[in-house]
Amino acid sequence: MRTVAIVGAVVVVLDQITKIWAASALVDRDIDLFWTARFNLTRNFGSAFGLGSSLGRWLGILILFVIAGVIWYARTITDRRMLALFGAIAGGAIGNVIDRIVRAKDGFMSGGVIDFIDFQWWPIFNIADIAVVCGALGLMVLSFREPELAEPARTEPARTEPS
């Protein structure tokens, strides 16, 4: 579980540092990067792609249960690569839940998630979103390439010799 905790903590720290920067540096301007990429501050009160913006509080609570489930399931995994990917997913989810809690103005979990990476042809996202998506994709790839890794570790019952 140390791998899950370390990767998750790194994701949370990077996510929150970049969101603090975005919330202060992008208040009154956008920063063009290359091609269509730019930094553009927005707040997402819904889920992926801005869907369900009126359900933000409930989504935040649901995400807490998902985080608990990810961590609970990760306890059964022994492959370090998969544990790192579970850590990325948990860290990303925690980073976005922190926004819902810390930036709340109208009660518990009412805050909007800060998004700022904008390609202008794809929904705006953040570091936490990248970690969740990359973690999930990585788990899918590993599960297809090495299906035995996706199965929880099992302890074998003690063998008894027939009498």
User: pLDDT digits over 34-77, tens only?
Assistant: 999 999 998 887 666 665 566 666 777 888 888 898 888 888 88
- State how far the Cα of 111 lies from the Cα of 1, in Å rounded to an integer: 30
Torsion, Cα of 121, 57, 92, 15 (10° steps): 80
Total domains in the fold of the chain:
1
Looking at the domain assignment, is residue 127 inside a domain?
A: yes
> Rounded mean pLDDT of 97-121?
82
User: pLDDT digits over 42-52, tens only?
Assistant: 888 766 666 55
Predicted model pTM: 0.79
Looking at the domain assignment, is residue 163 inside a domain?
A: no
Looking at the domain assignment, is residue 159 inside a domain?
A: no
Looking at the domain assignment, is residue 114 inside a domain?
A: yes
Looking at the domain assignment, is residue 158 inside a domain?
A: no
Confirm whether 129 is a catalytic residue: yes
Full residue range of the structural domain in which residue 32 is found: 2-150
Task: Tokens 């996202």: give the residue.
Answer: 125
Confirm whether 79 is a catalytic residue: no
Helix (H) / strand (E) element for 79: namely none
Looking at the domain assignment, is residue 162 inside a domain?
A: no
Looking at the domain assignment, is residue 112 inside a domain?
A: yes
Which of 15, 99, 118, 129 is an active site residue?
129
Which of 15, 99, 115, 118 is an active site residue?
115
